[in-house]
Amino acid sequence: MNHPSHAHALAADAAPTAPLDVPASAEMLERLERRRSPPLRGLVEPGPTEDELRRLLALASRVPDHGRLCPWRFVVVAGVARQSLGERLDALYARQNPQVPPAKGGMWTQYLLRAPVTVVLVSRPDLTAKVPEWNQVLSAGAAGMALTVGAAAMGFATQWLLKWPGRDPEAAALLGVGAGERIAGFIHIGRPTRITEDRPRPALDDVVSFWTPDQSMSNDTP
């Protein structure tokens, strides 16, 4: 038992007894408490640089993911690609909605040109995996929130929208989003032009309860 390799194994297996001294990050807390999504028209250049975007997407990939399935992926729409995608979406929209008069400059082109960068968040649950689909879909939502929070940490603001291009299968196909995949959001990223007034937040009493035994809805034993 006194052999050094045994001592090492014991130390690694021993249950930790004292908490690590991880200091609270006042800066991070304050940023999170003030984070708000400005309207899309309030997101302007400069968008994230290539390095910033890579870092942001790496942050967005650090999310709880049951079974390590990566049940999500990101499609970046930036620079001139915004115009090209917008024009294709406008053409598709016109074909699907011939009764709607075309907007000047193209409704979806204008939409995509507003923010410097848009990250399309795609949910792609693996239905053959043992991990429930719900767990996988929630992981995609977590990736969107991690991207949102990460962008705020970098000094950007975001607006997460899910409009027609995110719901229509033909529009999704233009983004390379195929069968078994579903768009979870267009997360538009840019610099905020001003501090957006906060919206009403839920009263904690409306959304938080502490469980007590009399709240149980069933008498079943586990």
Ligand X SMILES: Cc1cc2nc3c(=O)[nH]c(=O)nc-3n(C[C@H](O)[C@H](O)[C@H](O)COP(=O)(O)O)c2cc1C
Closest distance of CB 102 from ligand X, Å: 21
Is residue 74 at the binding interface for ligand X, with CB under 6 A as the rule? Answer: no
Q: Which residues from 99-128 bind ligand X, rule CB under 6 A?
A: none
Interface residue with ligand X among 46, 163, 167, 193 (CB under 6 A) is 163
Nearer to ligand X, 74 or 160 (CB): 160
Tokens of 31: 């940023």
Interface residue with ligand X among 6, 8, 34, 36 (CB under 6 A) is 36
Is residue 6 at the binding interface for ligand X, with CB under 6 A as the rule? Answer: no
CA 5: distance to chain centroid? 44
Alpha-carbon span 220 to 222, nearest angstrom = 6
Closest distance of CB 15 from ligand X, Å: 39
Alpha-carbon span 82 to 62, nearest angstrom = 27
Closest distance of CB 109 from ligand X, Å: 18
List residues bridging with 183 in a β-sheet. Answer: 122
Tokens of 19: 């908490």
End-to-end CA distance of the chain: 41
Interface stretch with ligand X, choices 8-16, 124-132, 155-163, 208-216 (CB under 6 A): 155-163
Angle at 111 (CA atoms; ends 191, 138), nearest 5 degrees: 75
Nearer to ligand X, 129 or 164 (CB): 164
Is residue 37 at the binding interface for ligand X, with CB under 6 A as the rule? Answer: yes
Nearer to ligand X, 48 or 185 (CB): 185
Closest to 112 in 3D by CA, of 128, 89, 141, 143: 89
Is residue 32 at the binding interface for ligand X, with CB under 6 A as the rule? Answer: no
Nearer to ligand X, 37 or 136 (CB): 37
The residue written with tokens 């006042």 in the block is 26
Alpha-carbon span 71 to 66, nearest angstrom = 9
Nearer to ligand X, 7 or 198 (CB): 198
Q: Which residues from 182-201 bind ligand X, rule CB under 6 A?
A: 185, 199
Any residues with CB less than 8 A from the CB of 23 and at least 6 apart, and which?
none
Number of residues that bind ligand X (CB under 6 A): 9
User: Is residue 163 a contact partner of residue 61, using CB atoms and an 8 Å limit?
Assistant: no
Q: What is the binding site for ligand X (CB under 6 A)?
A: 36-37, 159-163, 185, 199
